[in-house]
Amino acid sequence: MNARETVIKIVGVPQHTPTNEAITTFAPVNIALIKYWGKRDDQLNLPVTNSLSIALPTKGTTTTIRINHTTHDTYWLNGESVDKNSEFFNRLHYFCDLFRFHPSYHFDIDTKNNIPTAAGLASSASGFAALTLAFNQLFRLTLEKSELSILARLGSGSACRSLWDGCVEWEKGQREDGLDSFAHPYEAATSFLDSIGVGLLIFAKEKKKMSSRDAMLTTVKTSPLYSQWSKHVEQDLTDIKRAMSQHDFIRFGEIAEKNALAMHNTMLTSEPSINYCNASTLHYREKIWALRKTKCPIYFTQDAGPNIKLLFQKESLSVVKEEFPSAEIIFLSR
Ligand code: 2P0
């Protein structure tokens, strides 16, 4: 099955004419505690493993869509027209084509992120999730969240997790058509996460050197450590869920941090080697490890970029503020 067939399977052949009104939607950024890294199907963004994330309540993408009556789509990102020759334009166009239920339908899409775009802070996840919600309303599809999750996945794998607040698990699924590969909330984590803060240490805002898409492909094909990765993830998922249910922050932090480091080590051993770290990444990692010995339990996670996300308990807030004055702090309780 290809992506277009997936959409038809879920949406049917829509009789729905789009509304002429502008639709505005919001989807949160999600940060993976147990990472998605590697696909079993590159077209449908089907993952090799499950993954588990937390949503940042105030950070994400706001998207406005309306039908236009010209012959082409227009895309705006953070107030600027998206360059027609960019990879981002192509990805948006590909995704919009999936919802072009009639060739005369063209879309004006205005998308705004309140996080740096493409700096390893998962703006593509909140972006494609917000756009999926927008198409759902534009065509009055009234789909279930699980169906929206499948559709968002076609834009970007991790987007399937950006449709909920709180902790979310993406089931890898078994089926070749991917209809069992979607996310759902992991409610058991809610009371634990109420006491957790995330500190965004954003020291690099430039676009990353290699897209996650290409980096995942290279890692799966060439890293000698990749065969260990899926076993590692399975164990980490079990362990982090247990840690959260036992309100064991130290174990929780250890597992999340080790999972991120294992992902980076796996890609470092690819051919060619993939390195998303810079000197500041290494500096902050060392600083966090030193603080753990001397002050309080602080851990980190890191995605496909150099920036670091601190994980800490509310009672460590004053230390975090003092030691990382530039960190943007977000608590997970609403
Ligand atoms: C994650 N990342 O679980 C992992 C951890 C980055 C590091 O999902 O090719 O933009 O669109 O499916 O979702 C980033 O990859 O990749 C990502 P595609 P995506 O959050």
pTM of the predicted protein model: 0.96
At 266, list the tokens. Answer: 């796996």
Whether 198 and 132 map to the same domain: the answer is no
Smallest Cα–Cα separation from 256: which of 32, 49, 57, 29? Answer: 32
Determine the Cα–Cα distance for residues 82 and 85; give it in Å rounded to an integer.
Answer: 9
Ligand 1 centre to CA of 102 (Å) is 31
**114 and 163 together in one domain:** yes
Tell me, using a 6 A CB cutoff, whether residue 259 lines ligand 1: no
Based on the fold, state whether residues 62 and 156 are members of the same structural domain: yes
Which long-range CB contacts under 8 A does 235-241 form with residues at least 24 apart? 236/34, 237/34, 237/50, 237/52, 237/169, 240/33, 240/34, 240/52, 241/52, 241/186, 241/188, 241/189
Residue from 33, 90, 212, 240 to probe ligand 1 pocket by mutation (most atoms less than 8 Å from CB):
212
pLDDT value of position 71: 94
pLDDT of residue 115: 80
Residues 138 and 10 in one domain: yes
Same domain, 316 and 306: yes
Nearest C-alpha neighbor of 27 from the set 153, 151, 165, 185: 165
Ligand 1 closest atom vs CA 159: 13
DSSP 71: S
Q: Are 28 and 169 found together in one domain?
A: yes
> What confidence score (pLDDT) does residue 190 get?
85
Instruction: Among 303, 307, 308, 309, name the best residue to mutate to test ligand 1's pocket (greatest count of ligand atoms within 8 A of Cβ).
Output: 303
Alpha carbons 158 and 144: distance in angstroms, whole number? 18
Q: Of 190, 218, 243, which closes a domain?
A: 190
| Tokens (6 digits) for 87 | 């990879």
Same domain, 149 and 216: no
For 269-290, letters b (16+ CB in 10 Å) and e give ebeeebebbeeebeebbebbee
**Ligand 1 atom with minimal separation from the 158 CA:** 13
Beta bridge partners of 183: 170
Q: Tokens for 92, please give them.
A: 């948006």
Peptide bond just before 14 cis, omega within 30 deg: no
**CATH code at position 247:** 3.30.70.890
Other Cβ atoms closer than 10 A to 171: 16
**What burial class does residue 139 get, using C-beta atoms within 10 Å of its C-beta: 0-12 exposed, 13-18 middle, 19+ buried?**
buried
Do 211 and 184 have their domain in common? no
- Measured in degrees and rounded to the nearest 5, phi and psi for residue 75 equal -125, 130
Other CB atoms within a 10 A radius of the CB of residue 90 amount to 12
Per-residue pLDDT for the chain (334 aa), expressed as one digit of tens each?
899 999 999 998 756 788 889 999 999 999 999 999 999 999 999 999 999 999 998 899 999 999 998 999 999 999 999 999 998 899 999 999 999 999 999 999 999 999 865 445 657 999 999 999 999 999 999 999 999 999 999 999 999 999 999 999 999 999 999 999 999 999 988 899 999 999 999 888 777 778 899 999 999 999 999 999 999 999 999 999 999 999 999 999 999 999 999 999 999 999 999 999 999 999 999 999 999 999 999 999 999 999 999 999 999 999 999 999 999 999 988 6
CA distance 103 to 82: 22
Q: Kindly state whether residues 40 and 154 are assigned to the same domain.
A: yes
Last residue of a domain, one of 173, 190, 207: 190
The enclosing domain of 175 has a CATH number of: 3.30.230.10
User: Does one domain contain both 147 and 269?
Assistant: no
User: Same domain, yes or no, for 184 and 211?
Assistant: no
Residues 316, 184: one domain?
A: no
Give the model's pLDDT for residue 26. Answer: 98
| Domains: count for the chain | 2
Question: Does the beta carbon of 208 lie inside 6 Å of ligand 1?
Answer: no
CB 171 within 8 A of CB 184: yes
Residue after which a domain boundary falls, among 135, 169, 190: 190
pLDDT score at 206: 72
| Cα(91) to centroid(ligand 1), Å | 14
Domain of residue 317: give its range: 192-331
